[in-house]
Structures are given as structure tokens and as C-alpha cells.
Amino acid sequence: MNARPRVADVLPDLAVLLRDGLETLGRPELVRQLDGLEITAACACENELCGSFYTVTPMRRWFRRGDEVTIDDPGGAVILDVVGGEIAYVEVLGRAGVRSAVRQAAGG
């Protein structure tokens, strides 16, 4: 049984932002991943403004070697780290409620 929280359930507003942003950027291969995208872990940093999270397992440090896809938004840019064509990490900064929602969902 898969108990991992889905991004679309935990952060519906962010999921819409990601979908619209990726469609605008012409990245249908990433849009297709959104429905099944799961939060596997919260970012471990101490920044109170950071609501970033991982969407793959196992967690490793290689995500920084991926492609960065930046979605500009008036509420602050959201950056996807894409590794091997797979969304691996979602960088979210300064969005109210995202950090607590992610931590609650990820159990951390």
C-alpha cells in the first residue's frame, strides 16, 4: 500500500501553478508526471521560508546535477530539479503554509 502523499492533494494550489507553468513552458513530458507526483521527503534545511520537497526516492545529493526548470510566478519562482527526465525535487521558497503542509504530509 502506498501511503505517500500526492502533491496534488497536499498542495492543490501549487499543483495548479506547476501545471500552468509547465504548459506555458512547453514541457508536456513534465506535466504528465504531475498527477502521480508524490512528496517523498521535506527539504531538511532550517530556512523557515523553505517549503521545498523531494519527489523521488532514494534521496541523494545528485539532484543538483539535474536540469533546473524555473516557473516564474508573482508569488515567487518555483524551481524543479529534473534528473533523467524525472521531477526529483521542487524548490519552493516564501510561500505561506507550504513548509508546514509539506512537513505534516511527509511526517517530518
How far apart CA 94 and CA 8 sit, in angstroms, is 19
C-alpha dihedral sign at 19, 105, 40, 9: negative
Q: How far is the CB of 59 from Zn ion (least distance, A)?
A: 13
Q: How far is the CB of 108 from Zn ion (least distance, A)?
A: 12
C-alpha dihedral sign at 45, 15, 66, 5: positive
Residues 27-46, interacting with Zn ion (CB under 5 A): 43, 45
- At position 85, the amino acid (one-letter code) is G
Contact 86, 33 (CB under 8 A): yes
**Which residue lies nearer to Zn ion by CB, 50 or 88?**
50
Site membership for Zn ion, residue 52 (CB under 5 A): yes
- Residue of 18, 30, 50, 71 that binds Zn ion (CB under 5 A): 50
Cis peptide before 5 (omega within 30 of 0): no
How far apart CA 18 and CA 90 sit, in angstroms, is 10
**Which residue lies nearer to Zn ion by CB, 50 or 82?**
50
Q: How far is the CB of 87 from Zn ion (least distance, A)?
A: 17
Q: Which of 17-25, 27-35, 52-60, 64-72 is the region at the interface with Zn ion (rule: CB under 5 A)?
A: 52-60
Which residues contact Zn ion by CB under 5 A? 43, 45, 50, 52
